[in-house]
């Protein structure tokens, strides 16, 4: 089992009483790769944050050993409503429409609702394109939160529809599929193929704080890493242990289990929502 490395982070202290965030400085190598993505590359895996694209609070960072969807109600958006503000100066009209379409896609599949921020909403997601790669804060943490989407042509990089949805699902409170508590029953991590210094991205979370909400492991989850994530030699770092026709790391659409888990987390079935 891998031993957690100590890694240097840049800590940004939020104002207005919002939690402090642990923001990693992206590597020059990742920044260069983001400018020239190759087939199979996922921009969110190259974004330099924890597990590639998750911006954690200090509390979340110190609770590293967790699994896929966080249990604590404090990380769920009150009244199933997520307020957002798109900083339009970063994006074209087409890119803004893609961001809005991603939100509408989640809405159609659940009882979660996205609403433009107004001055009465101190807790909201700031959608912006500042910096490299794509990343998101995880769950409802209060104050101004972040979804970063480096501008790309539509259907590329951070502007693949599935990648935008992936970041919004992080913002709802979900982490990556392959770090769930029972993943070793379903995948084998090929540690020798992982870039030295990035092994922490494959931490195995404990089962006491987060939940898979009654579903089995989902190779086809939109929240799963690709099979070559963080590879040093282009060989697989994640190998399925059970027969599957699903593509690990797909960014086409939410899987049925992704949709089910969002609805379970936000109690949509109790509210009469259909999926």
Pairing of strands 238-240, 187-189: antiparallel
- Using 50, 70 and 90 to split pLDDT, how confident is the model at 65? very low
Q: Which positions are annotated as active-site residues?
A: 167
**What is the C-alpha separation between 239 and 245, in angstroms, rounded?**
13
pLDDT at residue 121, rounded to an integer: 86
Neighbours of 166 (CB within 10 A): 27
Q: Which fold has domain 10-265?
A: Collagenase (Catalytic Domain) (3.40.390)
| Contact call for residues 55 and 136 (beta carbons, < 8 A) | yes
Q: Is 155 helix (H, G, I), strand (E, B) or coil?
A: coil
- Using 50, 70 and 90 to split pLDDT, how confident is the model at 163? very high
What's the pLDDT tens digit per position in 82-140?
999 999 999 999 999 999 999 999 999 999 999 999 888 899 999 999 988 999 999 99
Tokens of 236: 């697989």
Give yes or no for residue 204 having a pLDDT over 90: no
**What is the C-alpha separation between 135 and 164, in angstroms, rounded?**
9
pTM: 0.78
Domain boundaries, the chain: 10-265
- Using 50, 70 and 90 to split pLDDT, how confident is the model at 211? low
Tokens of 192: 């020798």
**Whole-number Cα distances in Å, 57 to 12, 72, 128, 137, 192:** 10, 14, 19, 8, 30
- Using 50, 70 and 90 to split pLDDT, how confident is the model at 33? confident
Higher pLDDT, 54 or 272: 54
**What is the C-alpha separation between 82 and 171, in angstroms, rounded?**
9
């Amino acid at each position: 089992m891998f031993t957690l490395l100590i890694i240097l982070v840049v800590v940004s202290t939020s104002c207005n009483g919002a939690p402090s965030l642990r923001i990693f400085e992206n590597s020059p190598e990742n920044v260069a790769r983001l400018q020239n993505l190759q087939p199979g590359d996922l921009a969110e895996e190259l974004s330099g944050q924890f597990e590639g694209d998750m911006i954690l609070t200090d509390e979340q960072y110190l609770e590293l050993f967790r699994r896929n969807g966080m249990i604590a109600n404090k990380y769920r958006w009150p009244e199933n409503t997520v307020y957002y503000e798109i900083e339009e100066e970063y994006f074209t009209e087409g890119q803004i429409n893609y961001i809005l379409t991603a939100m509408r896609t989640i809405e159609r599949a659940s009882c979660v609702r996205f609403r433009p921020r107004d001055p009465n909403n101190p807790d909201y997601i700031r959608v912006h394109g500042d910096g490299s790669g794509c990343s998101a804060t995880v769950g409802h943490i209060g104050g101004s939160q972040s979804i970063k989407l480096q501008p790309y042509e539509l259907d590329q990089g951070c502007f693949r529809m599935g990648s935008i949805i992936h970041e919004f699902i992080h913002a709802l409170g979900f982490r990556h599929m392959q770090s769930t508590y029972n993943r070793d029953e379903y995948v084998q991590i090929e540690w020798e193929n992982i870039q030295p210094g990035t092994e922490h991205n494959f931490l195995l979370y404990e089962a006491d704080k987060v939940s898979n909400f009654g579903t089995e492991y989902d190779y086809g989850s939109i929240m799963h890493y690709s099979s070559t994530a963080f590879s040093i030699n282009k060989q697989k770092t994640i190998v399925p242990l059970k027969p599957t026709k699903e593509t690990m790391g797909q960014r086409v659409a939410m899987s049925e289990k992704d949709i089910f888990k969002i609805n379970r987390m936000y109690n949509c079935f109790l509210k009469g929502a259909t999926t």
